[in-house]
Structure 1
Amino acid sequence: MTDNTNTPYIGPEEVLRKKKEYLIPCVYHFYNQPMQLVKGEMQYLYDSTGKKYLDCFAGVSVVNCGHCHPEITKAICDQVTTLQHTCTIYLTQNIVNLAERLAQITPGRLQKTFFCASGTEANEGAALLASIYTGKHEFISLRQGLHGRTKLTMSLTGLSLWRTDTTPVGGISFAPNAYCYRCPYSKRHPECDLACANEIETVIKTTTSGQVAALIAEPVQGNGGIITPPPGYFKRVKEILDKYNILLIIDEVQTGFGRTGKMFAIEHYGVEPDIMTMAKALANGTPVGAFTSRAEIADKYTRPGASTLGGNPVTATAALATLDVITKNDLPAQAAELGQYLKNGLSELQKKHPIIGDIRGLGLMLGAEMVNPDKSPAPQKLDAILEQMKDRGFLIGKNGPDRNVMAFQPPLVITHDDIDNLLNNLADVLTAVA
């Protein structure tokens, strides 16, 4: 096959050869026998041989509206031919319109936004804003959280797999996450009385100097294994933080823009963040990042700041078009309904296949943890499952500290038929692997 310029595709073997020769080896890939992806169309991807795949990972929660959505693509193309780039030192309309739109849809009193180019930058900027506002410089993060690849955000990350910096930033304390399936206290919800949340106060008292600017947390931990806190968790956390005048930074990089059945996942918990970060699905694949805050916090950031590519005309146009598609088609409600449909189907599979130890998540952000009979993680079995599902035309993610959680984060435009097809094939593969 060829691309749209009639240039032949080089194929996965040649891509792998060039990757090994020219890319830094930390850039890894899925599958023992990977394919070369060349085309995307809504919930589907195509490889260099023309084979079609149902995308069940959406580029890790990025293309919530689907690959190459025609309305978003048209808006991008129209903007590229009009004004492709200016920095924030010049006035343009799209960036302020996007900031206004975010103020309208984000929770509570969040109002003022800084745009950048990635989720990592957004989390770095949010931490900086927290320090500027509070005059404090320590942070608390959660175990199994992932917040970025820069020195600070990697240091805020609670997954050893992603902590490759051998000299991490100091002044960061880690609290237990709400991992109910493997509770560190061997308790069960609700009898536990949210012991994991209560432990945050102990961390503040014992492992910090009392100069904590903020706690940063994902409402649902994506790379941590789709860890989904129980109801009431974040309200308890916010009560503790408010007692010590500590800000709450909510990282919605993976969870935002309809993914969990609401526009933002923190809305499930009825808590207003002090600062919130976004990226990924905000522009449906166009590189973007943003952090937003209440006016009284944001207005403390007065010294000059800029992002060369943040909120540029094309990115802002892509984001505005994406938000139009999400709201016009009520994709959060669609994610809630289809997510429950998928979760019900996975629960039926769990009854027949004890390798599925736990099913968790919200909306179309679901995780199925693969375990051995003794409940120990089963990453090798998951790899075998994912490889066979890929061969059948389904691309599913994996995450968790032991890489044993099957991650379902598809475009929110999938259908019931897509899910039925996915579940039927997964049932066959689970039987074969068992």
Structure 2
Amino acid sequence: MKFGLNLNHHHMLTSRSVINSVSKLALRYFSSQFKLPELRNFKPATYETWNLEKIRKVHGKHLNPCLLTIYQNPPILVQGKMQYVWDEKGRQYLDLFGGIVTTSVGHCHDRLVKALTDQAGKLWHTSSLYVYDEIYRFTDKLLGKFPSQLNNVFFCNSGSEANEFAILLARLHTQSYEMISLRNCYHGCSPNTMALGGIGTWKYPIPGLPGFHHTTCPDPYQGRFGGSKCRDSLIQTTRDCDCPSGDNCQASDKYIQDLDQVLTTVVPKGRIAGFIVESILGVGGFVQFPSNYISKAYEKIKQQGGLFISDEVQTGFGRTGTHYWGFQAHGIVPDIVTMAKGIGNGFPLAAVVTSEEIASSMKKALFFNTFGGNPLACRIGSEVIDIIDDEKMQENSSIQGKKLLIGLGKLRDKYPDVIGDVRGKGLMIGIELVKDKETKKPIDPKGFASILEQFKDNGLLIGKGGPSGSVIRITPPMCLSAADVDVTLQIADHIFSTYRHVD
């Protein structure tokens, strides 16, 4: 199947010139129809940039060849403020992807700009071999967000690095080697985290590292089991469900049976290092698991002597609305928690939190991170936590997330031939697009690309994810307003009303 836009004579977009003409037409028409809210007392500056042709030339010849832009005609972003960004032409966009779930409290938040400026003029970097105040203040503030038994922190620079370190920590502490994760998961691009991942597009055709195993992803929409009574979301899948209402989820038990098989057939009995999972899958398409899957998996792993690792890189710091950490919604206390992205609002900062007993396993050798926990990063991380608390951003995530989820759920019911599923919590929302509502076959890649382009041309920047790249990911800064939600739903309604699958 090909794709089409409801623009009469434009059935296929086959050349860059046609794409450009359609994008320009859409920009002129839609920009007059939908107006984004404006920030009070803020006027974006004017910047001179390279033109797109020159940028593409340097990109094509000299920049990482895997570094792809998400749009056919990308805007050149030059400025950001809170939930908005502007391009070189002064056009405003609502950032609904937040730099891939990273801009937690808003672009160039005034308090962060001040903290960064003050600290940069005071003490930018010195080795953690020396004593400086910022790392201790941040440690105390961060650990104050955790249960008391999670009382040791290791600072690093990225989510991949945090998860790589968590694997090492689990192996050292348990004196076992085998790690288990979910199919469809993503935990980073370092050697061990790449092997840990369960999405083929993130794997190179070379032998993977040993000691990594995958169990079935418990997906109530696309998986073998599950349906309309299974997940912790305001919007349930439309799939029929045999589960009784409440906590007795039969789908959860069936997915746990697959984990049981992995534990009894693939790994040495009682000799696993750990199980790592996100409370809601991130890159895997914002999949929410059947009720009690996480708590039951936790029990199984502990019975086998393994450590339970919660990857909070995308779900942490209040994004899901109901809790500060995603694992709290599942009623467990993990052995190790990893975090990045929102911890620094875009500044390269990450951390691993664990117990004193597990942390002591690192004493078997020396371990050092040159930039982890440097004064500049710690000052920013500390300020991010204060902003989330002072400005009630977790609460706002819950309020605006509910409004957006309910509105998108209505659009799913209105456009079932393209929107297969809507799910999420707080401001972590996925929209799974399909080609066929009965088979749930993913939307054609060109069709998905055209929808992304239309969102952008209407002033909304969104993300994509899922094993087939068919899930719209919505993770705006947590300062999103009710007016932003309203215009998002208006634009989404218009775009899905104009989309047509073409044979």
Query: Does TM-score exceed 0.5, indicating one fold?
Result: yes
* Structure 2 unmatched runs, 5+: 1-43, 228-240, 244-248
Counterpart-to-counterpart distance in 2, 1:315 and 1:241: 34
CA deviation vs aligned residue, 1:212-249 (integer Å, no higher than 9, x gap)? 10011111111000011122111101110111111101
Q: Once the 2 structures are TM-superposed, how far is the Cα of residue 296 of structure 1 from its aligned partner?
A: 1.1
184, 187, 194: which one aligns with 2:253? 194
CA deviation vs aligned residue, 1:399-422 (integer Å, no higher than 9, x gap)? 000000011101110111101101
AA aligned to 1:305 is F
The answer to whether the aligner puts 1:405 opposite 2:471 as a matched pair is yes
> What SS class does the counterpart of residue 204 from structure 1 fall into?
helix
CA deviation vs aligned residue, 1:9-47 (integer Å, no higher than 9, x gap)? 102222221111111201111011111111000000111
Instruction: Determine if contact 2:317/2:325 at 8 Å carries over to the other structure.
Output: yes
416, 423, 430: which one aligns with 2:496? 430
348, 359, 380: which one aligns with 2:446? 380
304, 310, 329: which one aligns with 1:268? 329
What does residue 295 of structure 2 align with?
Answer: 235
Counterpart-to-counterpart distance in 1, 2:131 and 2:91: 45
AA aligned to 1:146 is Y
Counterpart-to-counterpart distance in 2, 1:165 and 1:291: 30
Task: Name the stretch that deviates more: 106-115 or 147-156.
Answer: 106-115
The answer to whether the aligner puts 1:326 opposite 2:366 as a matched pair is no
CA deviation vs aligned residue, 1:364-412 (integer Å, no higher than 9, x gap)? 1010100122421004322211100100110011100000001110111
TM-score, L = length of structure 2: 0.83
Instruction: Determine if contact 2:156/2:369 at 8 Å carries over to the other structure.
Output: yes
For the aligned residue pairs, the C-alpha RMSD in angstroms reads: 1.5
Q: How does 1:228-307 map to 2 (within 5 A)?
A: 228-261=288-321, 262-302=323-363, 303-307=365-369
**Percent of counterpart pairs with the same letter?**
35
39, 42, 47: which one aligns with 2:87? 47
AA aligned to 1:350 is R
AA aligned to 1:412 is M
The answer to whether the aligner puts 1:219 opposite 2:276 as a matched pair is no
What does residue 72 of structure 2 align with?
Answer: 32
Counterpart-to-counterpart distance in 1, 2:252 and 2:91: 50
Counterpart-to-counterpart distance in 2, 1:7 and 1:430: 34
Counterpart-to-counterpart distance in 1, 2:82 and 2:226: 43
Instruction: Determine if contact 1:139/1:171 at 8 Å carries over to the other structure.
Output: yes
AA aligned to 1:375 is K
What does residue 481 of structure 2 align with?
Answer: 415
CA deviation vs aligned residue, 1:235-269 (integer Å, no higher than 9, x gap)? 10111011111110111111111111121111111
Q: How does 1:8-407 map to 2 (within 5 A)?
A: 8-107=48-147, 109-164=149-204, 166-185=206-225, 188=241, 189=243, 190-210=249-269, 211-261=271-321, 262-302=323-363, 303-354=365-416, 355-373=418-436, 374-378=439-443, 379-407=445-473
> What SS class does the counterpart of residue 412 from structure 1 fall into?
coil
* Structure 1 unmatched runs, 5+: none
Counterpart-to-counterpart distance in 2, 1:367 and 1:246: 31
Instruction: Determine if contact 1:219/1:251 at 8 Å carries over to the other structure.
Output: yes
TM-score, L = length of structure 1: 0.96
> What SS class does the counterpart of residue 128 from structure 1 fall into?
helix
Instruction: Determine if contact 1:365/1:407 at 8 Å carries over to the other structure.
Output: yes
Instruction: Determine if contact 2:251/2:290 at 8 Å carries over to the other structure.
Output: no
